[in-house]
Amino acid sequence: MYQLFFTPSWFNGYDLLFEGISLLVALLIASYSWKLYKVSHENRYGYFSFAFILIGLSLAVKMFTFEVLYSSPLRDGVVQVLGPAVGQGLQFADLFYRAAFFLQMVVMLGAWLLIYFISQKSRERLSKYYEVSQMALFVYLILLISIVGNFKYFVFYLTSIVLLGMTVLNYYKNYLNTDKNPNAWRVMVAFMFIMLSNMAFVFVFKWSAMYALGEILLLMGFLLLLHAYRRVTRG
Amino acid sequence: MGARRSRLELVFDILLSIQNKGGTIKPTHLMYKSNLSHKLLNQYMDELLQKQLIIINEEFHKKRKSPSKVITLTEKGSVFLAEYRRMREFTDAFGL
Cα–Cα distance for residue pair A159/A155, rounded to 1 Å = 6
What average pLDDT does chain A have?
83
A48–B86 CB contact, under 8 Å:
no
pLDDT of residue B52: 92
Question: Are A113 and A159 spatial neighbours (Cβ–Cβ below 8 Å)?
Answer: no
Does the residue A119 lie in any domain? yes
A42–B6 CB contact, under 8 Å:
yes
Does the residue A137 lie in any domain? yes
Cα–Cα distance for residue pair A46/A54, rounded to 1 Å = 12
Question: Are A114 and A51 spatial neighbours (Cβ–Cβ below 8 Å)?
Answer: yes
Tell me which chain A residue has its CA closest to the CA of residue B11. A40
pLDDT of residue B8: 86
Q: Which residues contact A33 (CB under 8 A, 6 or more apart)?
A: A45, A46, A48, A49, A52, B90, B94
B92–A33 CB contact, under 8 Å:
no
Question: Residues B55-76: what's their mean pLDDT?
Answer: 82
Does the residue A150 lie in any domain? yes
A184–B90 CB contact, under 8 Å:
no
A181–B94 CB contact, under 8 Å:
no
Residue B45's closest CA among B83, B73, B5? B73
A39, A171, A233 member nearest B95 (Cβ) = A171
More confident residue, A27 or A7: A27
B85, B87, B93 member nearest A181 (Cβ) = B93
User: A63-67, A198-202, B3-7: which range is least confident on average?
Assistant: B3-7
pLDDT of residue A1: 42
Count of CA atoms in the C-beta half-sphere (13 A) of A169: 9
Tell me which chain A residue has its CA closest to the CA of residue B87. A36
Residues of A in contact with B89 (CB under 8 A): 183, 232, 235
Helices and strands per DSSP (H, E), number in chain B: 4, 3
User: A132-136, A181-185, A216-220, B11-15: which range is least confident on average?
Assistant: A132-136
Backbone φ, ψ for residue A203 (5° rounding):
-100, 15
Residues of B in contact with A39 (CB under 8 A): 8, 87
Cα–Cα distance for residue pair B82/A235, rounded to 1 Å = 8
In chain B, domain spans: 7-93
A48, A186, A235 member nearest B96 (Cβ) = A48
B87–A36 CB contact, under 8 Å:
yes
Does the residue A3 lie in any domain? no
User: What is the 3-state secondary structure of A82-105?
Assistant: HHHHHCCCCCHHHHHHHHHHHHHH
Q: How many domains, chain A?
A: 1
State the pTM of this model: 0.83
Q: How far is CA A96 from the centre of its chain?
A: 20
Residues of A in contact with B92 (CB under 8 A): 174, 178, 181, 183-184
- Is CATH 1.10.10.10 what the domain over B7-93 is classified as, yes or no? yes
pLDDT of residue A92: 65
**Residue A13 sits in which domain range?**
9-234
Residues of A in contact with B5 (CB under 8 A): none
A40–B92 CB contact, under 8 Å:
no
Domain CATH for A95: 1.20.1070
Q: Is the per-residue pLDDT at A127 higher than 60?
A: no
Question: Residues A166-182: what's their mean pLDDT?
Answer: 91
B95–A170 CB contact, under 8 Å:
yes
Residue A231's closest CA among B94, B15, B96, B95? B94
For chains A and B, count residue pairs whose Cβ atoms are closer than 8 Å: 53
Q: How far off is chain B from A197, nearest CA to CA, in Å?
A: 20
User: A15-29, A42-56, B19-33: which range is least confident on average?
Assistant: B19-33
Q: How far off is chain A from B69, nearest CA to CA, in Å?
A: 30
Q: How far off is chain A from B20, nearest CA to CA, in Å?
A: 18
Question: Residues A204-208: what's their mean pLDDT?
Answer: 83
Residue B88 at interface with chain A, using a CB cutoff of 8 Å:
no
More confident residue, B5 or B39: B39
Q: How far off is chain B from A162, nearest CA to CA, in Å?
A: 19
